[in-house]
Amino acid sequence: MATALELAEGDADLTAAVRRCRRLLNRRALVAAAVSTVAIPGLDWLVDAALMSRVIPAINAEFGLTPEQLDRLPEHHREQTQKALAMVGSVVVGRLITQDLVIRMAQSLGRRLSTRQAARYVPIAGQAVSAFMGYATLRYLGEEHIKDCVLVAREARLALPAPVVARPPRTRRTTRRKSA
């Protein structure tokens, strides 16, 4: 199967959106990996669901596929997009993302997640396996979603929204007291 970058086929805007989404996905997958090492039953599932419920809408937004963005499209573009969505068959592109929907997505990888749960209780090596599986699971689900978004954007010939420029980090200003 082709990667998301291969599906973008040299389209500069799509390629840039894929790269931004992958950076976001990588950061969130690292969080999932860190949480996977903690031996608290169910914590990893909750964190994975919370992460995915934030990552999927962010990926949708990069491609102009949030429900709000789709509602603002002219009628003929909206119809093209609906046809592309039907063709791709994605469950989460262009939809309001709920915790329940994310949990159902994660359950599609149930065996892998169950192994991750069991591996966590083996000292050190098990935690490493659990962390890797937590990272890999979130990356896999996110990458598949990015591919779906690229396919929909190409098929519907959507103009991607301008990338959101990250705000510079806030710095803490300290004041020095003058001693008298």
Q: Determine how many CB atoms are found less than 10 A away from the CB of residue 28.
A: 22
Q: Is the model's pLDDT at 53 over the cut of 80?
A: yes
Q: CA 12, CA 165: separation in Å to the nearest integer?
A: 17
Higher pLDDT pick, 43 / 39: 43
- pLDDT score recorded for residue 28: 92
Per-residue burial over 115-139, b = 16 or more CB atoms within 10 Å of its CB, e = otherwise: ebbebbeeeeebbebbbebbbbbbb
What is the tens place of the pLDDT at every residue in 74-132?
A: 888 888 887 887 777 665 565 555 556 665 665 555 545 555 555 555 566 667 777 78
Q: Is residue 3 part of a domain?
A: no
Closest among 137, 144, 100 to 117, alpha carbons compared:
137
Confidence of residue 165 (pLDDT cuts 50, 70, 90): low
- Is the pTM higher than 0.85? The answer reads no
What is the tens place of the pLDDT at every residue in 19-40?
A: 999 999 999 999 988 887 776 7
Q: Is residue 169 part of a domain?
A: no
**Three-class SS of residue 3?**
coil
Determine the average pLDDT of the residues in 51-67.
Answer: 88
Q: Is residue 81 part of a domain?
A: yes
Q: Are 55 and 20 in contact (CB under 8 A)?
A: no
Choose the weakest-confidence range: 20-29, 139-148, 149-158, 169-178. Answer: 169-178
- pLDDT score recorded for residue 17: 92
Q: Is residue 167 part of a domain?
A: no
Residue 70 is part of which domain span? 11-156
Tell me what the pLDDT averaged over the chain comes to.
76
- pLDDT score recorded for residue 20: 94
Q: Are 152 and 84 in contact (CB under 8 A)?
A: yes
Q: Is residue 176 part of a domain?
A: no
What total of structural domains would you count in the chain?
A: 1
- pLDDT score recorded for residue 160: 79
Q: Is residue 164 part of a domain?
A: no
Q: Is residue 141 part of a domain?
A: yes
Q: Is residue 174 part of a domain?
A: no
Percent of the chain past pLDDT 90, that is, above it, reads 13
Q: In sequence order, which ranges of the chain are alpha helices (DSSP H)?
A: 4-8, 12-36, 43-62, 67-71, 75-88, 99-107, 110-119, 125-156
